[in-house]
A and B are shown apart, each in its own frame.
Chain A
Amino acid sequence: MDTTTSAPVDPRAHLTSPSTRAVLRVQHRVLDAVREHLGGEGFTEMLPPVIGPVTDPGARGAKQVDVDYYGHRYKLMTSAILYKQASLTAFDRIFCIAPNVRLEPLETSSTSRHLAEFHQIDVEVAGASRDDATRVAENLVVHVVRRVVERCAPELDVLGRDPDAFADLLSGQAFDRRTHASAVADLHDTGHAQNPDAEIDWTGEALLSSKSSRPFFLTDYPKGSRGFYDRENPAAPGHLLNFDLLAPEGYGELCSGSEREHEYATIVARMRETGENPAKYAWYLKMVREGVPGSAGFGIGLERLVRYLCGLDAVWQANAFPKIPGVVSP
């Protein structure tokens, strides 16, 4: 298998290679396990929209894709967050396998962990706290990994992935959690210049991730680093009741989640703090104004999870038709 971070030259060669086929079978098993676990926990699977008048503004400079919808400027979804919150007016526990398109900055083409088109395992729970959400995420990841280890031994063998890599994850010990501030302090101690007000940069994430032998949560990101929907901690203003889940072995972020803002006035003010124009969010704000449940939830990057499970060098290897940012691909 081509282990460089460059895109596959030819879709046929990529799709027919034994390693890609093994990876895609693992991906299939992951989706099975997600549905098995969340279905058993009382979640309803929803099908998320692909286009809409507005989408998650996201962060880190990714551009959205405009679609001409009968003369109106619509967007391809960058995440399902707005629809996840809205869906809680139908069901208390929902999940979806959501396709997302983000035209990431060109510099992400060399991170080995960005795709312009990818999928998220998106979960949202009404009335949940951040701790509830991390518990759901942890149980889900443990279940999926266990199923892959149980049922994908031949595929892992083809890929040269030692199942013992997951022994610590499956040991029954809870995932560690640490705050963003303590992670920044650690990075500063190692000489890495991490901006304390921002997301952990990709190099920093890899450094933290490589020191661990099982996934761990990073919590309490500073406000200016995330979207308007991550809830600010009333007890610690300027910090969010959110989390990332990082994979070990240097694979980095698997998942982002949070307790959500759901009060109308707070959301409008937070939109301004993130430079957003509330007028764009008319349908969403109308729903929020009329009331949506408080909630917490998360999105796991499917290709990133599969990359970690399969021990791949780059995330594009976990996608049948990968689109590396800036690379023209089928």
Chain B
Amino acid sequence: MTALRADTFPEDAVRERARLGAAAVFPPLSDYGGALLGEPQGPAPADALDATRLVPPVFMPRRLEKLIDLAREPLHGDVDLESTVGGFAARLPLYLSAFGSTRAVGTDLGRAAAAQAGALGIPMVVGENVVPVDGFTGERSLLARITAYADHAPDGVGGVVVQQSTEDADAEVWNRVYSDPATRPLLESGRLGFELKVGQGAKPGIGGLTVVDRAQADRLAGQYALEPLIDPAGDRVLRCASPGTFTDEILRQQIRLMRNNYPRARVWVKLPPGRDVAAAADVAWQAGADAVTVDGAEGGSGWAPTASLAGVGLPLAECLRRIGSPRGCLLVSGRVWEGLRAVKCLAAGATATGLGRAALLAVDENPQSGLTRLVEAMTLELRLLISALGKYHPSALSTEDLWSPAGWPVPAEQVVAARG
């Protein structure tokens, strides 16, 4: 365990799951037979997704279908969680979201998370700016994370998706990954992908930011904008990456060029929680993206101005509402760490949910098995909750399974307007 903190995140609960695994899904065993349980009286819901409830029906025709199939009453263990996530076969409707070169991911956390994600058979995204800062080869490098994943992944499942920022493009990260002998087994088994990063979840409109010391800043000068104002007394400097300029045509053509240049790789597109997220997602799917990932404004692991964190960008619930019924594979992240929020996202249209900060905290708590245990707990919750809705695969979930005081579905005309 390091000094890693996540003050705006249920850190203690995540760390507990990283220690206890599925046991943490339930109240303490010592309460059994003694405590009278009911809805917990916690703080007010943090956002619209938290305020939304899953609402199982009384009548369950799909459970009847399953009963006929099994010739017995179905149980939660009958929920099949195997999913296709952004073109990859995955054991669960989950993926490891990107974390890049930010210092919180330094040392061994990136590799520890990669190894466990591989063993779990869920796709992993490697964030931007790893190569310009930590290098392509070496202990902390991009290749170290990729090989840690590949060494632990069972045959035929999972996949590694590599982001490329503007600065990464200067370092030709995708070209290098696509041509490196070390990635060839992933490429040849259809388990390599590239993610075009259109923006930052936690700070829409701003590029990636990291704090570096003066010596490192001198080395990076010319590749990044450097902002010395943040540490007047010391020698630390803010390194600012460009967010890049996009129009619908730029996005469409960049996706087509990726498909042209890397025909054997999957193409993912990461969108910021912008007000036109639905229109942008449609452009991406129509241009052939295998997945669109959307980070709610509540997500993100990186450094950002407090003003951005407090008040810029759409929350995940609103992104999901605006996208409505997705045309393609929609992957979402933003404060997801347990099964309830994940199932709500799946019911609202997502194919899978990403673990970002939760995964980092879990491997920080226990580098050998923290993420494995966290996911073990989520897996049990996913099965319990999906079967409670009378359904037996994540793809069967829909907005009928959601209720919120404000009403879940967005009127069709608003969706059309948002798509332009």
Chain A contact residues, CB within 8 Å of chain B: 59-64, 103-107, 195, 197-199, 201, 222-225, 269, 272-277, 280, 326
**Nearest chain-A residue to B257 (Cβ)?**
A224
Contact B179 A274 (CB under 8 A): no
A residues within 8 A CB of B256?
197-198, 222-225
Q: How far is the CA of A224 from the CA of B184 in the complex (A)?
A: 25
Contact A201 B257 (CB under 8 A): no
Cβ-based interface call for B263 (8 A): yes
Contact B260 A273 (CB under 8 A): no
Cβ-based interface call for B166 (8 A): yes
Given contacts A105-B179, A273-B249, contact A198 B170 (CB under 8 A): no
Cβ-based interface call for B261 (8 A): yes
A residues within 8 A CB of B253?
223-224, 273-274
Contact A61 B181 (CB under 8 A): no
**Nearest chain-B residue to A225 (Cβ)?**
B260
Contact B245 A224 (CB under 8 A): no
B residues within 8 A CB of A274?
253-254, 257
Can you name 13 extra interface pairs (CB under 8 A) apart from A61-B262, A272-B245?
A60-B261, A106-B184, A195-B260, A197-B260, A198-B260, A223-B253, A224-B252, A224-B253, A224-B257, A225-B260, A272-B246, A272-B250, A274-B257
The 4 closest A-B pairs by CB, nearest first: A224-B256, A273-B253, A198-B260, A63-B175
Residue among A64, A105, A107, A195 having the largest count of chain B Cβ atoms under 10 Å: A105
Q: How far is the CA of A201 from the CA of B262 in the complex (A)?
A: 11
Residue among A59, A197, A199, A201 having the largest count of chain B Cβ atoms under 10 Å: A197
Would you give the shortest CB distance from A183 to chain B, in whole angstroms? 15
B259 contact from A103, A224, A269, A277, Cβ within 8 A: A224
**Nearest chain-A residue to B175 (Cβ)?**
A63
Contact A62 B175 (CB under 8 A): yes
Contact B245 A103 (CB under 8 A): no
Contact B181 A106 (CB under 8 A): yes
Contact B257 A59 (CB under 8 A): yes
Cβ-based interface call for B174 (8 A): yes
B residues within 8 A CB of A199?
260
Contact A275 B262 (CB under 8 A): no
Contact B263 A326 (CB under 8 A): no
Contact B257 A61 (CB under 8 A): no
Would you give the shortest CB distance from B12 to chain A, in whole angstroms? 42
Contact B259 A195 (CB under 8 A): yes
Cβ-based interface call for B149 (8 A): no
B254 contact from A105, A198, A273, Cβ within 8 A: A273
B173-188 vs A: 1/0 string, CB under 8 Å? Answer: 0111011010010000
Interface size class of B (residues with CB under 8 A): 35 or more
Q: Which B145-184 residues have a C-beta within 8 angstroms of A? A: 164, 166-167, 169-170, 172, 174-176, 178-179, 181, 184
Given contacts A223-B253, A273-B253, A275-B169, contact A59 B260 (CB under 8 A): yes
**Nearest chain-B residue to A278 (Cβ)?**
B245
9 A/B residue pairs, CB under 8 Å, sorted by A? A59-B257, A59-B261, A62-B179, A63-B179, A224-B255, A225-B260, A273-B253, A273-B254, A277-B170
Would you give the shortest CB distance from A261 to chain B, in whole angstroms? 13
Cβ-based interface call for B264 (8 A): yes
Q: How far is the CA of A197 from the CA of B258 in the complex (A)?
A: 11
A198 contact from B167, B174, B175, B263, Cβ within 8 A: B263
A residues within 8 A CB of B172?
63-64
A residues within 8 A CB of B181?
106, 326
Cβ-based interface call for B288 (8 A): yes
B107-119 vs A: 1/0 string, CB under 8 Å? Answer: 0000000000000
Would you give the shortest CB distance from A301 to chain B, in whole angstroms? 19
Would you give the shortest CB distance from A145 to chain B, in whole angstroms? 31
Contact A269 B261 (CB under 8 A): no
Contact A273 B184 (CB under 8 A): no
Given contacts A62-B175, A104-B179, A276-B169, contact A195 B263 (CB under 8 A): yes
Q: How far is the CA of A199 from the CA of B262 in the complex (A)?
A: 11
A residues within 8 A CB of B255?
224
B residues within 8 A CB of A105?
178-179
Contact A201 B179 (CB under 8 A): no
Contact A61 B169 (CB under 8 A): no
Residue among B164, B196, B253, B256 having the largest count of chain A Cβ atoms under 10 Å: B253
Q: How far is the CA of A170 from the CA of B155 in the complex (A)?
A: 54
Q: How far is the CA of A274 from the CA of B253 in the complex (A)?
A: 7
B269-297 vs A: 1/0 string, CB under 8 Å? Answer: 00000000000000000011000000000
Given contacts A195-B260, A198-B259, A224-B260, contact A61 B175 (CB under 8 A): yes
Q: How far is the CA of A196 from the CA of B246 in the complex (A)?
A: 23
B233-269 vs A: 1/0 string, CB under 8 Å? Answer: 0000000001011100110111111111111100000
Q: How far is the CA of A107 from the CA of B256 in the complex (A)?
A: 20
A residues within 8 A CB of B258?
275
A residues within 8 A CB of B179?
61-63, 103-106, 326
Residue among A60, A106, A224 having the largest count of chain B Cβ atoms under 10 Å: A224
Residue among B242, B254, B257, B288 having the largest count of chain A Cβ atoms under 10 Å: B257
Would you give the shortest CB distance from B3 to chain A, in whole angstroms? 35
B250 contact from A64, A197, A269, Cβ within 8 A: A269
B residues within 8 A CB of A224?
252-257, 259-260, 287
